[in-house]
Structure 1
Amino acid sequence: MNTLELDIVSPSIYANPALLHERYERYRTDAPVAWINQEPYRPFWALTRHADIVEIEKQNTLFINEPRQNLVPREVEDRTLAALGKRTAAVRTMIDMDEPDHRKYRNVAQSWFLGSGVTRFHGKVEEICAAWIEKMKDCGPECDFASDIANYVPLAVIMCILGLPEKDMPFVLKSTQQLFGASDSDMKDENDDYGVTVFHNLMDYLGQLVAQRRQNPTDDLASVIANGMVDGAPMAMLETLSYLLITATAGHETTSSALAGGMLAFMQNPEQMKKIVAQPDLWDKGADEIVRWVTPLRHMMRTATQDYVLQSQTIRAGDSIGLMYLSANRDPAVFTNPYEFNVERPASRHLAFGIGAHFCLGRLLALTEIRTFFKKLLPQLALIELAGEPQFAQSNFIGTLKKLPIRYRFR
């Protein structure tokens, strides 16, 4: 088996982007399909090249989501297996599902995310972005952009879309950070149980929401999901709660990461910020480049249903495969000067939204939020610079900036 003695899975490595990218480059060159056997995780194949990930992703019946969606410590998987009879948490979101269920449940809200819903809420997105820019002015001349602004803009949008009260924002934010940052000592919950308690509290909260929307439907997305139909029958409670869970959490955490990472990229590349302010028609490309550059979702896992040969390596039926999206989005075989942040990058083929059947349902909404926020903010800034060291979360799943201290002045 092809192996390299370089750690690309420990959460601590992901808090050091320069070191991580150096190691990814070695893997792409020397071991693009590499067997990783490193505690505390069960062994898996790591794919670091763009083409190999695309090859696997486009065969979604051969390489399935069940039973392993992301890297979770073996001990946590074993506890879950003992309690539930399976290694994954007690949810059934779309990222847990395979065909034909995946397509059926995706269809419940797909039309909302791919057109009418996003268009209908565009004015509200603009209003929310403008309000948080005003809050940024009030915080000046310094703030922590990650924790004070970027965390809240997408959260405010998803709360509005779901019809959740603004007073619940702190609860939803804290729950999301503790779920996705369970490997970071600063973000995990006080029970130190890898998010189990947080998960149950959040599911109880969403259960109350479902009961309300089924009794009194409104015109929000929560009502669409709570009253969703599959195969001519109402969705079961497990699937309904899981649908809301992934919408309410992943729906803002990844976009928050993109906003914070995008701001850092602009400060590190001021010529790109000047260019896009002078040419606002670049924003369609620019928003996509921010997502490629940040790649908020660092990896996903698939499981082979039969033997398969990839780059001369034999992947056996039952083997796990790690799709290392962050590495793929720096692959020089696909991206010219991949380590350059370039708002004019043409026709990006990045994998930050995935590819194939599991292509991110929230792509249009995320790009709308990123484009709208920066398009409003950047022309108003006379000065913006770092006021301290950025700090990335120790997480190999979501690329979160925990701290981004900035100094700024509005015109």
Structure 2
Amino acid sequence: MVNDFDLTNPDFFVSGDPHAVWKELRAVDPVHWTERQNKRGFWSITKYDDAQRVYRDPTTFSSQGGIALGFADAPDPTQPRMQYGFGQMMITTDPPRHGRIRQMLNRRFTPRALAPHEPHVRAITREIIDAVAEQGRCDLVVDVAAKLPTAVICEMLAVPREDWDLMFALGNMTVGNEDPEYQVDGSAQKTGAQAQRDIFNYFMKLIGERRSNPGDDLVSALVHGDIEDDHLSDLEVLFNCFLLILGGQETTRNAITGGMDALMRCPADRDRLAHDPALMRTGIEEILRWTSPITHIMRTATRAVDLRGRSIREGDRVVIWNPSANRDEEVFADPYRFDIARKPNDHIAFGYGEHFCIGANLARLELRVMLDELLRRMPDMAPAGPPERLRSNLLAGIKHLPVTFTPARVAA
């Protein structure tokens, strides 16, 4: 099987079995070279320890060459593509500048800073559930899971409520540009370019407003924050707004959906989690390990280096497959079992090292509140059809998941 697969093919992540491939690679070729016709090849990192090594060494494994295979492969220089964010967004910037940009936002994402917002996050969650509670059925993704992280990150970026659906749609077009459901004229490149252009144009206007009229929001923090005794350029602010509006939606939405899908398949675990609040913390970490919403992260080698006896050359692309690392048999006992009480559980769903996800605490808060409310108000939720997966090798996403539950009246 080792050569009978294509991890760059998004269809493989819809109808194939990537976990079977990763399992074999971990056993026989954990640092695996993929040669590609007319495109640059890459090394696949499939084991946990190797993934950590790459993540924690940004000097050797740089983010500035791009962090995703698809975006880095075929940029269109006439469009405002992700390539122009290399070295300007937190996610595509190496230390020390990465840390300096990150410092402008860090304090807003600490557990202490987020704690006062929990009642508001819960109020939003209840409003979302109220909208479907009387129907007895819904699309768990579109109607519920996606709405909470979209609302929260939009509020943090000062995007008004009337534009939340627009941000959701543009996010789908950007990260799901390989999926026909979101494509414009059947073109992945055109879809991604149009979505990015629309997001850029939207935030250019918002950046201008916040430059003259700052508020207590992330855009204002980026516009008016100091870095190396200077300010970020408008382009740098723009790219980091682009990163936040996308990253703030996708990970949590897919973790909520994937987590509920797993719990619906394990009713005993769902009932345990619903009736034992002490399990919520470990349950959330297991959902993150199990779903691993970011499928891969790419780095570029800045020098020749050996890894498990394989000679990685300067300039080679190195791709970490997070779901594979999170099922490494040498790290996780019985890794293919969903275990809401799993300890220890040092997964890398949020990455590792310098680029550990800045929004991890927010994602955990949203996931905890949403699970708590769903398990309490819809304890008999059940799938009404199979999950429809996103055509992507970047995100482990579910686009649609029809569910049923006992209808409940909502108090006026």
The answer, yes or no, to whether TM exceeds 0.5 is: yes
1:312 pairs with one of 298, 309, 312 = 309
* 1:35 matches 2:33: yes
Q: Report the CA distance shift for 1:39/1:127 in structure 2 as closer, same or farther (over 3 A).
A: farther
Give CA deviations for 1:67-98 in whole Å, capped at 9, x if unaligned: 13111277623x33x879x9824562111101
* 1:129 matches 2:116: no
2:166 pairs with one of 171, 177, 180 = 171
Identity %: 29
Whole-angstrom CA distance in 1 between matches of 2:8 and 2:85: 24
2:180 pairs with one of 157, 168, 185 = 185
- Structure 1 residue 39: Cα displacement: 5.0
Give CA deviations for 1:238-292 in whole Å, capped at 9, x if unaligned: 1111111111111111111111111111111111101111111111111111111
RMSD: 2.0
* 1:278 matches 2:278: no
Match of 1:71 in 2: 69
Whole-angstrom CA distance in 1 between matches of 2:227 and 2:107: 15
Whole-angstrom CA distance in 1 between matches of 2:338 and 2:120: 29
Match of 2:363 in 1: 366
Whole-angstrom CA distance in 1 between matches of 2:60 and 2:73: 28
1:143 pairs with one of 108, 124, 138 = 138
Q: Report the CA distance shift for 1:75/1:327 in structure 2 as closer, same or farther (over 3 A).
A: closer
Match of 2:12 in 1: 13
1:42 aligns to what SS in structure 2?
strand
Match of 2:236 in 1: 239
Whole-angstrom CA distance in 2 between matches of 1:36 and 1:210: 42
Gap runs ≥5 in structure 2? none
Q: Report the CA distance shift for 1:299/1:406 in structure 2 as closer, same or farther (over 3 A).
A: same
2:91 aligns to what SS in structure 1?
coil
* 1:118 matches 2:149: no
Aligned positions of 1:6-405 closer than 5 A? 6-16=5-15, 19-38=17-36, 41-72=39-70, 76-77=74-75, 79-80=76-77, 88-90=83-85, 92-138=88-134, 140-190=135-185, 192=187, 193-405=190-402
Whole-angstrom CA distance in 1 between matches of 2:264 and 2:97: 44
Gap runs ≥5 in structure 1? none
Whole-angstrom CA distance in 1 between matches of 2:372 and 2:252: 15
1:37 aligns to what SS in structure 2?
strand
Whole-angstrom CA distance in 1 between matches of 2:389 and 2:115: 33
Q: Report the CA distance shift for 1:321/1:188 in structure 2 as closer, same or farther (over 3 A).
A: same
Q: Report the CA distance shift for 1:262/1:194 in structure 2 as closer, same or farther (over 3 A).
A: same
Whole-angstrom CA distance in 2 between matches of 1:347 and 1:145: 30
Give CA deviations for 1:319-371 in whole Å, capped at 9, x if unaligned: 11001101111111111111111111113111110001100100000000000
Q: Count how many residue pairs are aligned between Structure 1 and Structure 2.
A: 404
Give CA deviations for 1:383-402 in whole Å, capped at 9, x if unaligned: 22111111111100011101
8 Å contact from structure 2 (residues 60, 301) kept in 1: yes
- Structure 1 residue 180: Cα displacement: 0.3
Which letter does structure 1 place at the counterpart of 2:171? T
Whole-angstrom CA distance in 1 between matches of 2:156 and 2:281: 23
- Structure 1 residue 130: Cα displacement: 1.2
Give CA deviations for 1:148-206 in whole Å, capped at 9, x if unaligned: 11111110111122221111011101110110011111123347225112111110100
Whole-angstrom CA distance in 1 between matches of 2:399 and 2:132: 17
Which letter does structure 1 place at the counterpart of 2:280? W
8 Å contact from structure 2 (residues 30, 44) kept in 1: yes
Q: Report the CA distance shift for 1:15/1:257 in structure 2 as closer, same or farther (over 3 A).
A: same
Whole-angstrom CA distance in 2 between matches of 1:245 and 1:83: 15
8 Å contact from structure 2 (residues 182, 191) kept in 1: no
Q: Report the CA distance shift for 1:410/1:283 in structure 2 as closer, same or farther (over 3 A).
A: farther
Whole-angstrom CA distance in 2 between matches of 1:128 and 1:340: 32
8 Å contact from structure 1 (residues 118, 365) kept in 2: yes
Which consecutive aligned stretches of 4+ in structure 1 deviate over 6 angstroms post-superposition? none
| TM-score, structure 1 as length reference | 0.93
- Structure 1 residue 133: Cα displacement: 1.4
8 Å contact from structure 1 (residues 8, 24) kept in 2: no
8 Å contact from structure 2 (residues 101, 227) kept in 1: yes
Q: Report the CA distance shift for 1:194/1:30 in structure 2 as closer, same or farther (over 3 A).
A: farther
Q: Report the CA distance shift for 1:39/1:72 in structure 2 as closer, same or farther (over 3 A).
A: farther
Which letter does structure 1 place at the counterpart of 2:105? A
Q: Report the CA distance shift for 1:405/1:87 in structure 2 as closer, same or farther (over 3 A).
A: closer
1:409 aligns to what SS in structure 2?
coil
8 Å contact from structure 1 (residues 189, 198) kept in 2: no
Which letter does structure 2 place at the counterpart of 1:29? A
8 Å contact from structure 2 (residues 66, 72) kept in 1: no
2:330 aligns to what SS in structure 1?
coil
